[in-house]
Structure 1
Amino acid sequence: MATYAIGDLQGCFTEFQQLLEVIRFDPAQDKLWLVGDIVNRGPDSLPLLRCIKQAGDAIRMVLGNHDLHLLMVAAGMAANHPSDTIQAILDAPDRNELLHWLRQQKLFHVEGQYAMVHAGLLPSWSIAQAGQLAHEVETALRHDDHHELFARMYGNEPNYWQDDWTGYIRLRVIINAMTRMRVCTLDGRMNFAFKGNPQSIPDGYMPWFSVPHRISQNTTIVCGHWSGLGLHITDHLIALDSGCVWGGQLSAIRLEDRKVFQIPCAQ
């Protein structure tokens, strides 16, 4: 039995299938962790989403910003971007079933010595607090009035956390940190405009995982989202977005021994 974590898929179904063959994934024995951004920008979001849904308990996933964007577009709260490739899902006969399943997925997952999130955690959040905050968002996503969340979810402000935030502002900051953040200041102010490599980070900002005295630093966090960072593995960080959809590679790691497996982009 092994646990494998895989980076951002973004509709790259062919590479996903190839990578499962390379790691010899056995759903009867093994577990698969997916760091979010299952859909969008790649060519095959619909069959990929169906495949993951059908895999059942063998797969654990967290939601990424592109997954939430699909839900927003489907709810009429956001428009398709010219580079979006989610229309096949929106037109699918099983659309409602797929979208309902996607809304049930987690924003943050903790198991043993590992925690999984799509983008990152703010420096002031412990693992326990992050779990509680993610649960607040997950509850709102699964509620019958989830459209109310979607109507207020987008926005870059506030770009910092306060424990006394309430309502949809509170949920927006949680979502932005866990699905969009790459860099922040020492006091946890996020910069959502930055998408480049670590050498081009604006003055005053640093990778969220490099903030000194980050409360969650003793837990190994598995994440994705930052293709400019690439595959980045340290004692307590496993960042797996190696930019498959941009012509890079799709990466997996076996958590038990940290062996890395990669498949080059097919296109």
Structure 2
Amino acid sequence: MTTRKASQASPYAVGDLQGCAPSLDTLLAQVHPETPLRFVGDLINRGPAALRTLRTVRAMGIRAEAVLGNHDIHLLAVAAGVRKRGKSDTLDDILAASDCEELLTWLRHRPLALLENNFLLVHAGVLPQWTAPQVIDLAHEVEAQLQGPNWQAFLADIFGNTPDRWHDGLRGIERHRVVVNALTRLRYCTVDGVMDFKTKEGLGKAPDGFMPWFDVPGRRTGDVTLVCGHWSTLGLVMRPDLMALDTGCVWGGKLTAARMAADPAERTVVQVDCPQYCNPLA
């Protein structure tokens, strides 16, 4: 499911885990064991315990949901044999696990976007011309491919940087590629929604003519609160229309969770310190 009714208890959104199971253990000890959790993607990769992280989140059942991140999709593509492993990948324990097929099936059935109680969760960002309902509809199109019988062939064609912008006439794999790139890779774009895929630095490092996707004037998702991760060099951003939660756990930063409360003043933040496993700009 990608659209949920509000829980009696406000969920906590959790930033990028990237296989840091020990940090997740510490974080979970600080929230009530029945508190709903919403993970913003990149559950695995580069951290030391990808398999345990994936098993932990899956075992939470209906308590938890996770949107897909770029590293999660990369794992699926590697498992499908259509993408090579990266030098910093830490996926071997998952791929060799006795329950690998079950874990990958569970991962394939995760949403790319989740709309819940006026919060829109995505891993990276959204294009300025999309509305929140449109984001969910476009995510559904990709989810249908990932959950279908030809998911391996779909993943063989989904990677790439073109087209770098959306228009309503896009069809087929080009349409799906723009959706995946926006929802799982976006940091900077132009006012017209042209995406930049090179810059990883934080605010103040935007290429000429580009800006953070969430600061584009007239962004059509301004009527909901966006919850995202992906951008570790950005750090924690908490404002009425945005909760950016990737605080670089795998890089030696913190693992962050924030309460998805309607009142911004009640969006409690919980953070735990994390060991450094990688360089964020490597």
Normalising to structure 1: TM-score of the pair?
A: 0.97
Partner of 1:21: 29
Residue deviations 1:187-233 (CA, integer Å, cap 9, x gap)? 00000111001111111100000000001112101000000101011
Amino acid corresponding to residue 5 of structure 1 in structure 2 = A
2:253 to 248, 251, 258: 248
Partner of 2:186: 181
2:149 to 144, 161, 170: 144
Equivalents in 1 of 2:56, 2:112: separation in Å?
20
Aligned sequence identity (%): 47
Partner of 1:51: 56
Equivalents in 1 of 2:158, 2:92: separation in Å?
21
- Once the two structures are TM-superposed, the CA of residue 238 in structure 1 deviates from its matched residue by 0.2
Aligned: 1:260 with 2:269? yes
SS in 1 for 2:107: helix
Amino acid corresponding to residue 88 of structure 2 in structure 1 = S
Equivalents in 1 of 2:249, 2:92: separation in Å?
20
Aligned: 1:212 with 2:217? yes
- Once the two structures are TM-superposed, the CA of residue 165 in structure 1 deviates from its matched residue by 0.5
- 1:1-267 matches, cutoff 5 A: 1-23=9-31, 25-27=32-34, 30-256=35-261, 257-267=266-276
- Once the two structures are TM-superposed, the CA of residue 254 in structure 1 deviates from its matched residue by 1.3
Equivalents in 1 of 2:39, 2:251: separation in Å?
18
SS in 2 for 1:51: helix
- Once the two structures are TM-superposed, the CA of residue 8 in structure 1 deviates from its matched residue by 0.3
- Once the two structures are TM-superposed, the CA of residue 266 in structure 1 deviates from its matched residue by 3.2
Equivalents in 2 of 1:196, 1:125: separation in Å?
25
Aligned residues: 264
Equivalents in 2 of 1:255, 1:161: separation in Å?
29
Tell me, yes or no, if the aligned pair for 2:251 and 2:275 is still in contact at 8 Å. Answer: no
Tell me, yes or no, if the aligned pair for 2:256 and 2:271 is still in contact at 8 Å. Answer: yes
Equivalents in 1 of 2:82, 2:113: separation in Å?
24
Amino acid corresponding to residue 17 of structure 2 in structure 1 = L
Moved more, 170-179 or 146-155: 146-155
Residue deviations 1:157-201 (CA, integer Å, cap 9, x gap)? 000001110111111110000000000011000001110011111
Equivalents in 2 of 1:9, 1:158: separation in Å?
29
- Once the two structures are TM-superposed, the CA of residue 113 in structure 1 deviates from its matched residue by 1.3
Higher helix share: 1
Normalising to structure 2: TM-score of the pair?
A: 0.92
Tell me, yes or no, if the aligned pair for 1:14 and 1:266 is still in contact at 8 Å. Answer: no
- Once the two structures are TM-superposed, the CA of residue 255 in structure 1 deviates from its matched residue by 1.8
Moved over 6 A (4+): none
CA RMSD between the two structures: 0.8
Amino acid corresponding to residue 26 of structure 1 in structure 2 = P
SS in 2 for 1:67: helix
SS in 2 for 1:200: coil
Equivalents in 2 of 1:132, 1:5: separation in Å?
22
Amino acid corresponding to residue 66 of structure 1 in structure 2 = H
Residue deviations 1:24-68 (CA, integer Å, cap 9, x gap)? x323xx210100000001000001101111110000110000000
